[in-house]
Chains A and B, each alone.
Chain A
Amino acid sequence: MAGFLARRLLNYLVLVAVAASLAYMLAATALDPRSNYADRTPKPPPAVIDAQLTALNLNDQVPLLERYAVWAGGVLHGDLGKSVTGSPVNDDIARRAGVTFRLVVLGMIVGSVGGVLLGALAAVRQYGWFDRVSTALSFAVLAVPVVVLANMLILFATWLNDRLGTQVFLVSGEYTGGLDTGFWGSVLDRIQHLVLPTASLSLALVAVFSRYQRNMMLDVLGADFVRTARAKGLSRRAALTRHALRTALVPVMTYFAFTFGALLTGATFTEKIFGWHGLGEQLINSIFTNDVNTVAAIALLAAVAVLCASLASDLLHAALDPRVRAG
């Protein structure tokens, strides 16, 4: 078991290394930090620009492999390099990672729990009104990209706020700066900020999970073991929750690894649109500012996160299904 886990982790390490290196190479080739200096007035002399770029390990005059070697050496020591403004990428990332983490975790929990509940309910009353409505809604939601959904939510919130004459939903940032309303006041403020981004991130997830859970549940509803449970004398409700739902959860939980990458991308959009200062926002900004090191660092983190999710989903699978952890 331990040997197997070690081999798997090694494989993951290799994947992360290759992915991050590829991302670095691509970023270093495609992005042009030198152009950042072009608009400066007065225009600095080329020698100064060169010196500054070299200090940041961003000089395109230096061969790519050399830059890569410096960057990779730094990463191995836990140093992700410097951003175009000269600040260490580590500090920046550390500050922003928490923001993204909160958003993603919350979105994931709301999305998966909501989706599983909706899907299970829809399956139990197949072709009932609830099934039809939830199916139609999830189709509609799946047709709306996050960027449009987020903007629609903002429009809706502005409209509602206007109607009610008070700020119920806050659409920009994670919290109001300089607020002095005590603990509960700031909690309320945070929640007001939180609702819309979480909704825009998790709605699609709810739709996906509910469709998937519904199908898995329908597969299981006709299964022999549910019939056995009924033959024992269990009521329909007990047979469904204790036997069908529990078993149908297994494939759904493994599905979660597949959606994690999409969730990260969704978080990027959500952060940018709602003005949360997280990694996603940073990513988009850093591409515009040709910030090679920051881009590479975020790519590295994303790769690690995806693999962690995949590992977590495997472990979850093993925890839920005795057939998997057998032996």
Chain B
Amino acid sequence: MTLPEEEVAEELTPGVPGRGPRRAPSRGRVVVRRFLGSRQGAAGLAVLVVMFLLAFAGPLLSPWSYTDRDFTAFLQPPSASHWFGTLQTGADVYAVTLRGMQKSLIVGLLAALVSTALAALVGAFAGYFPGWADRTLTWLTDLLLVLPAFLILAIMSPVFGEGTWALFVLMLALFLWMVTSKIVRSMTVSLKRREFIQAARFMGVRPVTIIFRHVLPNLSSLLIVDATLNVSAAILTETSLSYFGFGIQPPDVSFGTLIADGSKTAVYAPWTFWFVAGLLVVTVLAVNLVGDALRDAFDPTSTRPR
């Protein structure tokens, strides 16, 4: 309807670098500045830091550990001795909630890391090498998209006994990467046509080197944003699985198991549900805010004020 933004930008900045001695700020610094400059990004990051502190340093403040049972107080509302109240079993809600948060944060972070790495590699190789490599990888991606992830994870749940949460993380990651990988693939295909990749190719740079030197760095903004958003996806998936008893197994606890238990008593003992649900929502919200702000910070054309 109006003059496109880029055109305006072009009209306004016919790049005049030779002028003035200012040292060009590195891209990383620009991104950090833009990220911290956005209110939502700074807020999200602050909340996230607080959440981490709470999850890992918080338990030290309370005399109760998540395995303790207070046999003098069953299902008691918050009080001086039990800050968040107690469960039907006499467990301290504060202690178990923080323990659950630890688990959920670790699971979320690791699963996001693994799945994003997988997405980047599979997508970039599929996009860069047409022919059988592309076909095989794309077919695998499609297969995993078709497999009902929740069902597979649920069936596998007996395997996730105590101490095997690393396997759980891997399985979680295995079902999170496909959509990103498809995006990475199509972006790689278009990047490959870009002239700087062609230039490297005609210079004699090896394909794998090109992927790691040119393709992946140029997708880094997408990947970082995706990893952030995967953290929240992983936390949410973990919660849902654990809610139905398919994820983290007792005696260990996570957000999901706590919410499942809490929802049964929520009507008459709201503290069993609302603290953990609230912390979960705030955590995921913070992660999403950070991801969104990162996306804006990386996007040179973005002019969102916030």
Q: Do chains A and B stick together as partners?
A: yes
A residues near B, CB below 8 A? 15-16, 18-19, 22-23, 26-27, 30-32, 127, 139-140, 142-148, 151-152, 154-155, 158, 221-224, 226-227, 229-230, 236, 239-240, 244, 258, 261, 264-265, 268-269, 272, 283-284, 287, 295, 298-299, 302-303, 306-307
Q: How many residues of B contact A (CB 8 A)?
A: 48
8 Å CB contact of A15 from B143, B151, B259, B260:
B143
- Given A30-B159, A147-B259, A151-B263, do A16 and B1 touch, yes or no (CB 8 Å)? no
Q: 5 A–B contact pairs at CB < 8 A?
A: A15-B146, A23-B155, A143-B284, A145-B284, A148-B281
Closest Cβ of chain A to B258, distance in Å, is 11
By a beta-carbon cutoff of 8 Å, the part of chain B in contact with chain A is 1-6, 139, 142-143, 145-152, 154-159, 179, 232, 236, 239-240, 243-244, 246, 256, 259-260, 263, 266-267, 273, 277, 280-282, 284-285, 288-289, 292, 305
**Are B288 and A287 touching (Cβ within 8 A)?**
no
Tell me which residues across on chain B come within 8 A of A30, comparing CB atoms: 155-156, 158-159
- In the bound complex, what is the Cα–Cα distance between A268 and B263 (angstroms)? 17
Q: Which residues of A contact B282 (CB under 8 A)?
A: 143
Q: Are A299 and B239 interface neighbours, CB within 8 A?
A: no
Given contacts A147-B240, A303-B147, 11 further A-B contacts (CB under 8 A): A16-B146, A19-B147, A26-B156, A143-B281, A144-B281, A145-B280, A227-B4, A240-B1, A265-B148, A269-B240, A287-B154
**Neighbouring A residues of B2 by C-beta, 8 Å:** 222, 227, 230
B4 and A223 within 8 A (CB): yes
For B179, what are the chain A residues with a Cβ–Cβ distance below 8 Å? Answer: 258
- Which of chain A's residues have a CB closer than 8 A to the CB of B6? 222
Closest 8 A-B residue pairs measured CB to CB?
A: A143-B285, A143-B284, A302-B148, A151-B263, A222-B4, A145-B236, A147-B243, A226-B1
Whole-angstrom distance between the alpha carbons of A22 and B152 in the complex? 9
Residues of B within 8 A of A230 (CB): 1-2
**Which of A142, A146, A155, A287 sits near B266, CB closer than 8 Å?**
A155
Q: Are B288 and A143 in contact (CB under 8 A)?
A: yes
Output the least CB separation between B118 and chain A (Å).
Answer: 18
Assembled-state Cα–Cα distance A239/B1 (Å) = 8
Are A140 and B159 closer than 8 Å at their CB atoms?
no
B148 and A261 within 8 A (CB): yes
Report B-chain residues with C-beta under 8 Å of the C-beta of A299. Answer: 147-148, 151
Residue of A143, A284, A303 with most partner-chain B CB within 10 A:
A143
Task: Determine the distance from Cα of A272 to Cα of B181 in the docked complex, in whole angstroms.
Answer: 31
Q: Are B155 and A151 in contact (CB-based, < 8 A)?
A: no
Q: How far is the CA of A258 from the CA of B168 in the complex (A)?
A: 24
B289 contact set on A, CB distance < 8 A: 139
| The one of A145, A158, A236 that contacts B1, using a Cβ cutoff of 8 Å | A236
By DSSP majority rule, is chain B's interface helix, strand, loop, or mixed?
A: helix
Picked from B148, B156, B277, B288, the residue with its CB within 8 Å of the CB of A264 is B148
Chain A residues within an 8 Å CB radius of B156: 26, 30
In angstroms, Cα B239 to Cα A148, docked, is 9
Whether A23 lies near B148 (C-beta < 8 A) is yes
Partner of A146, one of B3, B145, B240, B273: B240
Query: For the complex, what is the distance from the CA of A212 to the CA of B107, rounded to whole Å?
Result: 27
Partner of A31, one of B155, B236, B260: B155
* Interface contact B151-A140, CB-CB below 8 Å: no
Residues on A with beta carbons closer than 8 Å to the beta carbon of B273: 151, 155
Known A145-B239, A147-B240, A147-B243; judge A18-B143 contact (CB<8 A). yes
Interface centre among B2, B150, B266, B284 (most CB of A within 10 A): B150
Residues in chain A near residue B267, CB distance under 8 A: 155, 158
A221 to B1, CA, bound (A): 7
Bound-state Cα–Cα, A26 to B4, Å: 54
| Chain B residues positioned under 8 Å from A268 (CB to CB) | 150
* Contact status A222-B281, CB under 8 Å: no
From B151, B246, B259, B266, give the contact of A302 (CB < 8 A): B151
Contact between chains at B154 and A284 (CB < 8 Å): yes
Does B259 contact A148, Cβ atoms closer than 8 Å?
Answer: yes
In the complex the two chains form, is B151's CB within 8 Å of A23's CB? yes
- In the assembled complex, the Cα of A265 lies from the Cα of B151 at a distance in Å of 9
Select A283's contact among B145, B151, B157, B277, beta carbons within 8 Å: B151
Measured CA separation A226–B266 after assembly (Å): 52
Contacts of A155 in B (CB 8 A): 266-267, 273
Of the residues B1, B3, B280, contact of A148 by C-beta under 8 Å = B280
What B residues does A295 contact at CB under 8 A?
151, 155
- A154 and B270 CA atoms in complex are apart in Å by 13
How distant is the Cα of A23 from the Cα of B144 in the complex, in angstroms?
11
Q: Are A147 and B266 in contact (CB under 8 A)?
A: no
A145 partner residues in chain B, CB cutoff 8 A: 236, 239-240, 243, 280, 284
Shortest B195–chain A CB gap in Å is 24
Nearest A residue (CB) for B292: A139
Q: How far is the CA of A15 from the CA of B284 in the complex (A)?
A: 34
Q: In the bound complex, how far is the Cα of B144 from the Cα of A15, in angstroms?
A: 9
Task: Select B146's contact among A139, A223, A307, beta carbons within 8 Å.
Answer: A307
A204 shortest CB reach to chain B, Å: 10
In whole Å, how far is B178's beta carbon from the nearest beta carbon of chain A?
9
Which residue of chain B is the closest to A145 with respect to CB atoms? B236
Q: A198 to B239, alpha carbons, bound, how many Å?
A: 21
